[in-house]
Amino acid sequence: MPGIRQRTTALSVLSAVAVTAGVLTAAPSHAVVGDSPPDSQYAFTAKLDIGNGQRSCTGTLVDQQWLITAASCFADNPAQEPKVAAGAPKMKTTATIGRADLTAPGGSVVDVVELVPRDDRDLVMARLATPVTGVKPVQIGSAAPREGEELKAVGYGRTKDEWVPNRFHAGAFTVQAAGETTVALEPTSAGAAVCKGDTGGPALREADGKVELAAVNSVSWQGGCLGSGAETRKGAVSTRVDDVADWIRQTALRTLLSRADWKKADLLAAGYFTGGSANGKRHMDLLVRWVDGSVTLYQGAEANDAKVPFSAQYELAKAGSVWKHAKAITGGSFTAGGSDGLVVRWVDGEVTQYAHVDQQGFHNEKTLAKTAAWQNAKLVTAGRFNGGSLRDDLLVVWANGTVSLYADLNTNGVRKEVQLAKADKTWTYADQISAGEFTGAKTSDLLVRWKDGETTIYPGVDTKGFHGETKIRPVKSPWINATVLTVGAFTANKVPNDVLVRWNDGKLTLHPGVNGAGLHSEVQIAD
């Protein structure tokens, strides 16, 4: 069997040139020769079965729905060219995650349905058919491996005396040198070696009780591995990941929204809940109340990519919580500083304000009103309708068609009402409303989606009422199926003029940069 060859790079490090460690061309699966860690220690390590036993590799869970591994695991001829095409793997691939002992119960067994390779190194992201629960993904290292540093390699490949081991093994290695995309390793612990089946497995940095991914196993000499003959060399080459951490994160974020059943999202609110406006980078966040009473906060992303508007999610309330009794919500700035808050109209007519909402939950709860009359507050939205205030105002559409404005909404409760429209049938047909900044007016505009599908922008709504209207979708338009919507600054940290829509079929779309001339584009971000 050919061994690994050495070629000179600018840093004189070992590079990936020969047979990959763990990509087989026939039957048995073939891991790091070393110790057997406790079952829970590296639960993020995955065993990859490629082609129903034709090949075996190792991977690492870096996101609930994504693994990272070696591209050579999926290449047609990995010994000559480790590159692989993007898309579905050519051979059926199954990942077993969270099960150190493959013969034991527990963990998850999930199909790999998509590959996203790097062109500059032996690395690929592998999307799982469904998210993995109960296993915490590994953190990606931010610092380059340095000479003399110890890394722990983990894998499910063959050992010195097992062709097909049933559990992962781990061995200690020392960094000999680091190149632009690779790192050369030599074993530190006795008997450690990267063997067939370990390709794609993690090389981990462990310090101060923290574990992070420094590199991914690529090739090795395989000395000490069963079937290596007289070979004694045990050096290995792993692929660096620290300098592609942003690529890993952006790839994983593609499935962030698709993990949820959006047919069950019935209330949406946008706001700078996690401090986005303060740091000048992150865009608005999205708060979702699901039909089961759970609440999720999606943190706004920093990149201006309409396809990936959010960068993380946080569970603020579990299913069956009191939030199942919320009938209307809106985000806004109510304290003239800090993160945004939330106003909630509950089923019993109570109106509650949370001065701030963040990743830890809801803060500074205050009851603004509690009368039976507020049970008839059909729709609510917060915006700067009053002009001179540093706090947002509350606009309410009542069940009888009245439209009211409560200016300068602070913690002293719902104060003097300004009636913008008297009770009539017109506003009883309003199905969705949200405040935004579409026209450049001095005060907030109001977006209304009517029952018949017509969608209208009212520019510069203030205490004197409505000042014209612009129809951006006609009667009987497809927007009759727009079940829930909200307006926010989701693609740029500027003004809230992006419209996010949840449709009755569960799809989620984003319409960036809406203005007085209407809707200009649509990006589907979840289906």
Tokens for 1? 């069997």
Domain co-membership, 166 together with 280: no
Q: Is residue 11 part of a domain?
A: no
Cα–Cα distance, 372 to 505 (Å, whole number) = 34
Q: Is residue 16 part of a domain?
A: no
Domain co-membership, 189 together with 310: no
Q: Which of 204, 227, 248 is at the close of a domain?
A: 248
Residues in the chain, total:
527
What is the 3-state secondary structure of 406-460?
ECCCCCCCCCCEEEEECCCCHHHHEEEEEEECCCCCCCCEEEEEECCCCEEEECC
Among the listed residues 287, 299, 266, 417, the one whose alpha carbon sits nearest the alpha carbon of residue 341: 287
Domain co-membership, 325 together with 187: no
According to DSSP, residue 336 is labeled: S
Beta strands in 318-376 (DSSP E): 326-332, 341-346, 350-358, 361-370
Question: Are the C-beta atoms of 230 and 287 separated by less than 8 Å?
Answer: no
Q: Which of 222, 248, 274 is at the close of a domain?
A: 248
CATH number at residue 370: 2.120.10
Output Rg (C-alpha) for the chain, integer angstroms: 28
Tokens for 39? 């079952």
Tokens for 136? 């915490």
Domain co-membership, 208 together with 323: no
Tokens 């609440």 correspond to what residue? 295
Question: Are the C-beta atoms of 303 and 281 separated by less than 8 Å?
Answer: no
Cα–Cα distance, 3 to 379 (Å, whole number) = 70
Domain co-membership, 228 together with 350: no
Where b means 16+ CB within 10 Å and e means fewer, 35-73 reads: eebebebbbbbbbbbbeeebbbbbbbbbbbbbbbbbbbb
Tokens for 100? 């150190």
Q: Which of 224, 248, 272 is at the close of a domain?
A: 248
Q: Is residue 71 part of a domain?
A: yes
Domain co-membership, 59 together with 153: yes
Domain co-membership, 274 together with 403: yes
Domain co-membership, 226 together with 358: no
Question: What DSSP element (H or E) covers 81?
Answer: none
Question: Are the C-beta atoms of 343 and 353 separated by less than 8 Å?
Answer: yes
Alpha-carbon separation of residue 477 from 257, 454, 480 (angstroms): 26, 6, 6
Residues β-bridged to residue 150: 174
What is the 3-state secondary structure of 27-89?
CCCCCCECECCCCCCCCCEEEEEECCCCEEEEEEEEECCEEEECHHHHCCECCCECCCCCECC
Q: Is residue 406 part of a domain?
A: yes
Q: Is residue 437 part of a domain?
A: no
Burial of 511 (0-12, 13-18, 19+ CB in 10 A): buried
* Number of domains forming the structure of the chain: 2
Question: Are the C-beta atoms of 93 and 49 separated by less than 8 Å?
Answer: yes
pLDDT of residue 426: 95
Tokens for 72? 């050579």
Q: What pTM was computed for the model?
A: 0.79
Residues β-bridged to residue 202: 216
Residue type for 166, please?
A: N
CATH number at residue 193: 2.40.10.120
Domain co-membership, 177 together with 51: yes
Q: Is residue 64 part of a domain?
A: yes
Q: Is residue 351 part of a domain?
A: yes
pLDDT of residue 19: 32
Tokens for 445? 């505009």
According to DSSP, residue 21 is labeled: T
Cα 13 to chain centroid, rounded: 35
Determine the structural domain holding residue 324 and report its residue range: 256-424+481-526
Domain co-membership, 96 together with 116: yes
Question: Are the C-beta atoms of 229 and 220 separated by less than 8 Å?
Answer: no
* pLDDT tens, the chain, 527 aa long: 223 322 222 222 333 323 333 333 322 223 455 566 776 789 999 999 999 999 999 999 999 999 999 999 999 887 777 789 999 999 999 999 998 888 888 899 999 999 999 999 999 999 999 999 889 999 999 999 999 999 999 988 777 766 677 788 888 899 999 999 999 999 887 778 788 888 999 999 998 889 999 999 998 777 778 777 777 787 889 999 999 999 999 899 989 999 899 999 999 999 999 876 545 678 999 999 999 999 999 999 888 889 899 988 999 999 999 999 999 999 998 886 678 999 999 999 999 999 999 999 999 999 999 999 999 999 999 999 987 667 889 999 999 999 999 987 765 667 788 999 999 999 999 999 999 999 999 999 999 999 999 999 999 999 999 999 999 999 999 999 999 999 999 998 778 999 999 999 999 999 999 998 888 899 999 98
Cα–Cα distance, 37 to 85 (Å, whole number) = 34
Domain co-membership, 206 together with 260: no
Q: Is residue 187 part of a domain?
A: yes
Domain co-membership, 286 together with 367: yes
pLDDT of residue 31: 40
Question: Are the C-beta atoms of 322 and 293 separated by less than 8 Å?
Answer: yes
Q: What 3-state class would DSSP assign to 294?
A: coil
